Structure 1
Amino acid sequence: MRAAVVRRFGQPLRIEDVPVPQPGPGELLIKVLTSGVCHTDLHAADGDWPVKPALPFIPGHEGVGLVAELGPDVDRFRVGDPVGLAWLHDACGHCEYCRTGWETLCGEQHDSGYSVNGAYAEYVIGRADYVARLPSSFDPLTMAPVLCAGVTTYKGILETEARPGQWLAISGIGGLGHVALQYAKAMGLRVVALDVGDDKLVLARTLGADAVLRADAADAAERVQQITGGGAHGVLVTAVSPDAFTQALQLTRRRGTVSLVGLPPGEFATPIFDVVLKRLTIRGSIVGTRQDLDEAIAFAVAGKVRPQVRSARLSEINDVFRELKAGRVNGRVVLDLR
C-alpha cells in the first residue's frame, strides 16, 4: 500500500510502498477514503514536542474509511461499515481516568499517527472499541476534520461552561476555529471571533459570528469587553501563538473560563492579580472522549457543522505542510485517497 512516511524529523515525508498491516485481536483493518491534515501532524513530523514519535512512522488522525477486515474477537462491526479513526487510538481501560470517562488523560494511551501508525496511508489499523461509527450516508471529505478539529473544539467549548445565550470569544479562526464557531452557534452561543488575518474574519462573519475583531488591534480586549457587556463568559483559544493565550485573560468577564486547545511552543504570562480577583478559570482541553466524538459527529450529520475543506492527493502532503507552516491554509485540507 502507499503511505506517507516520516523517516527523519523536519524532513519531507516520503511516499512509499509499505506492507498492509494485519489486524490483531480487537482490531479493524480500515480502507482509508480520506484523511484530514491537522497541525498536530506537522508537529509530529517535525518532532516539535518533548515526547516524540518513534521513527519511522505514518502520521494522520482524521481518517475516514470502510472496514476491510476484522481481527479476532471483533463482533461490533462488519466488513464495509463506515468508520472514523481519531487521535485516541486506544487507552488502558482500567485506570481512574478511563473508569471515570476521561480516557483522553490515560497515561497508557496510544495516539493515531503519533505512537501508532496513522491514516496517511491506504490502510490503517483501528481499535474496535475506539473507532467512531459513521452513518451510511456521509461526505468523507467534510467528515474527516470532525474527527479531530470537530471533537477538539466541541469539547473545548464544553469546558468553558458557557450556556446558550452567553458570549464565547474564539481566538484563531483557522482549521480549528472555523469549526469551533459553527459548534458554538449550533449550541446557542453568541460569538465574537478574533484573528490577525482579514480573510479569516471574513470567513467568521460568513459562518455566523456576531462580531469579528482583529486580534492584533491595540483596543481588541477593550472592544470585546464593550461588545459582550463586561467580557466573554468563555474564551476558546485555538490560535498557535502565546500572545493569544495572554490576551485571552483580558477578554474574559469575571468568573469566566478560558479553554486552551492550541499548542504553540513556549510559555505565556499569567496576571495573578486578575486571575485571583476576577475568579478566572484557566483550563486545558485535550481532544475529546468517545462520547464527545459521537456528539460532535451528530452535529455534523444533522448539517449544523460543515468544515470548510479542500482536497489534496497523498503525494501533495509536503506541499500542504509547507502551506500549513506558512499560515496559508483557510479551513482544512483533506487528503483524498479514493
Structure 2
Amino acid sequence: MRAAVLTRFGAPLTVREVPDPEAAGGEVIVDVLAACVLPYAAEVFSGERNYPLVPPVVPGTGAVGRVVHVGADATRLRVGDLVWCDPAVRSRDDALTPDITLQGWSSRGEGGARLARYMHDGSFAERMRIPTENAFPLPAAAGDDPARWAALGVHVISYGGLLAGGLAAGETLLVSGATGNLGSSAVAVALAMGAGRVIAPGRNQAVLGLLADRFGPRVRPVELTGDESTDRAAMSAVADGPIDMVIDLLPPSAPSSATRAAAMTLREYGRVVLMGGVGMLGGDDLALPYPWIMRNSITVRGQWLGPRSANAGIIRLLASGALDLAPERVRSFGLDAVNEAVTYAAAHGGPFDRTTLTPPAG
C-alpha cells in the first residue's frame, strides 16, 4: 500500500510503498477514506512541538474508514462496515490508569511510548491497523461525505473536555480560545449539548462575528484587550449571570494570563477544564491563586483526550443533526499532495476550516 511517511523531523513527508498492515488478535484493518490534517501538523512534523514521534512513522490522528478485516474477538463489526477510527489507543492491562498513545501522533510517559512502538503508524495511508475497540460504527450518511465526517477528530476532543467538566443543559460555559479551530468546535458542541449560553472571547473581531452570526444570541462574543483585569471584567459582564464552567483550549503560544483571566470568571463551585497547550513551549505557569480556589470551592481539572464513550456520544450528536457539519469548510487532498495539505491546513486553521486527506481519491 501507499503511505505518507515522516522520515525525520524537518523533512517533507514522503509518499511511498510500505507493507500492508497485518492484524493480530483484537485488531481490525481499515481502508482509510478520509483523515483530518490538523492545523498544527506542520509544527509537529518540523519538531517545533517536540512530540514523542519516532521516525520513520506514518502520522495522522484518526480516520473515517471501511473495515476490510476483523478478528475472532469482534462480535458485531463486519467487513464492509463504515467506522470512525479513534486514535486514542489504551493499554489493556491496567483498567485504573491505562497507558495511552495517540496513534501516529503522540504518547504519554514510558508506558505510552512502549504502546506507540507497537501501534506505531497513523492514518496518512491507504490502510491502517487499529484495536478492535477503537472502531466505532458510523451512520450510512457518513459514507456520502467521509471527508466532512473526518472532523470527528476535532469535535471528539472538545466533547471529551465538556464531558470531563460535567457540562449540563442550560449552563453558561466560557470557551477560552473560542476563535481557534478547536475552541470553535467547543462552542458548537456545547450548544449541541444544550448549553444555555457560551461566552466566546478572542482578539479576532471577524471570527467573533462569524460565531455570533452562526449561532445567534446564545453565543456572547468578547473582544479581548490583553489586559488581564480588563478582560476578566468584560467576560464576566457579557455573561449576564454566573459562569458555571470554563474550558481552556488555547495553543502553546498563548500566555498563561489569558487562561487565568478566563478561569477566574467562575462562580463559586465552578469548574475549569484545561485541555490546551499553554506552557508546553515554555512561559509562565498558570498560577491560579490558592485562596481563590479554596474559598470558592473551584474544581480544576486537566484533561488529555476523552473517554472511549466520547466517540459514541459525538457520533450520536452528529447523526441526530444536533451538531451540524454542513456549514464547515472542507478542503480535501489526495495522498500524493500530503505536503500541500499540511501547508494548507496551517494557513486555514480558523473556525470550522477542515483539511483532509482522501487516499482513495488519489
TM-score by length of 2: 0.82
- For 1:320 and 1:279, the matched residues in 2 are separated by 46
Is the contact between residue 249 and residue 276 of structure 2 (CA under 8 Å) also seen in structure 1?
yes
Identity %: 26
- In the alignment, what sits opposite 2:103? 112
1:155-197 deviations in Å (ceiling 9; x for gaps): 2112223322221011223221222112211222111112222
Which residue of the partner structure matches residue 242 of structure 1?
A: 255
Q: Secondary structure at the match of 2:53?
A: coil
Inter-partner Cα distance in structure 1 for 2:138 and 2:242: 38
- Aligned pairs for 1:222-301 within 5 A: 222-229=233-240, 231-240=242-251, 241-243=254-256, 244-264=258-278, 265=280, 266=282, 267-272=284-289, 273-301=291-319
Aligned-residue offset at 1:230: 5.3
**1:212 corresponds to which of 217, 221, 229:** 221
Instruction: Report whether the alignment pairs 1:197 with 2:215.
Output: no
> Which residue in 1 is equivalent to 2:169?
164
Per-residue displacement from partner, 1:284-332 (whole Å, max 9, x unpaired)?
Answer: 1122222121011100111111342412213343344345445754422
The residue aligned with 2:158 is 153
* Paired residues of 2:21 and 2:129 also in contact (CA < 8 A): yes
For 1:113, the aligned partner's letter is G
* Structure 1 counterpart of 2:146: 140
Q: Is the 8 Å Cα contact of residues 63 and 144 (structure 1) preserved in structure 2? A: yes
Q: Using a 3 Å threshold, how does the CA distance of structure 1 residues 247 and 319 change in structure 2: closer, same or farther?
A: farther
The verdict on how the C-alpha distance between 1:315 and 1:222 changes in structure 2, with shifts beyond 3 A counting, is farther
**Mind listing any 5+ residue stretches in structure 1 that lack a counterpart?**
98-104
- Rounded to whole Å, the distance in 1 between the matches of 2:141 and 2:121 is 27
Distance 1:207 1:260 in 2: 26
Note the aligned Cα RMSD (angstroms).
Answer: 2.4
Aligned to 2:198, what secondary structure does the other structure show?
A: strand
Larger deviation, residues 259-268 vs 122-131: 259-268
Compared with structure 1, are the counterparts of its residues 58 and 199 closer, same or farther at alpha carbon in structure 2 (3 Å cutoff)? farther
Shift of 1:32: 0.6
Distance 1:203 1:3, change over 3 A: farther
Number of the residue aligned with 2:109: none
Q: State whether residues 85 and 131 of structure 1, in contact with CA within 8 Å, keep that contact through their aligned partners in structure 2.
A: yes
Contact persistence 1:246–1:268 (CA under 8 A) = no
Q: Deviations over 1:39-94 (max 9, x none)?
A: 564454244566612211111123001012234544432211001112213x2334
| Secondary structure at 1:137 match in 2 | helix
The letter for the 1-side match of 2:320 is: A
Pick the aligned partner of 1:128 from 129, 132, 138.
132
Alpha-carbon distance between aligned partners in 1 of 2:242 and 2:338, rounded to the nearest angstrom: 40
Change (3 A) 1:158 1:71: closer
Please state how far the C-alpha of 1:113 moved relative to its aligned partner: 1.1
- Contact 1:66/1:83 (<8 A) preserved: yes
* Pair 1:179 & 2:185 matched: yes
* Partner amino acid, structure 2, of 1:191: V
- 2:39–2:349 Cα contact (<8 Å) kept: no
How far the C-alpha of 1:233 sits from its partner, in A, is 1.0
Paired residues for 1:30-45 under 5 Å: 30-39=30-39, 41-42=41-42, 44-45=44-45
**Residue in 1 that maps onto 2:342:** 321
C-alpha contact 1:4 1:13 (8 A) present in aligned 2: yes
Aligned residues: 328
The C-alpha deviation readout for 1:98-129, integer Å capped at 9, x for no partner, is xxxxxxx512x343213221111111111112
Cα distance change of structure 1 residues 10 and 245 upon mapping to structure 2, 3 Å threshold: farther
* Partner of residue 100, structure 1: none
Separation in 2, partners of 1:64, 1:274: 44
State the distance in 1 between where 2:347 and 2:299 align. Answer: 32
Which range is displaced more, 26-35 or 243-252? 243-252
Aligned to 1:53: 53
Q: Secondary structure at the match of 1:294?
A: helix
Q: Supply the AA of the counterpart residue of 2:92.
A: G
Number of the residue aligned with 2:357: 335
- Normalised to the residue count of structure 1, the TM-score between the two structures is 0.87
Aligned partners of 1:311 and 1:336 also within 8 Å: no
Unaligned segments of structure 2, at least 5 residues: 106-115
Cα deviation, residue 136, structure 1: 2.2
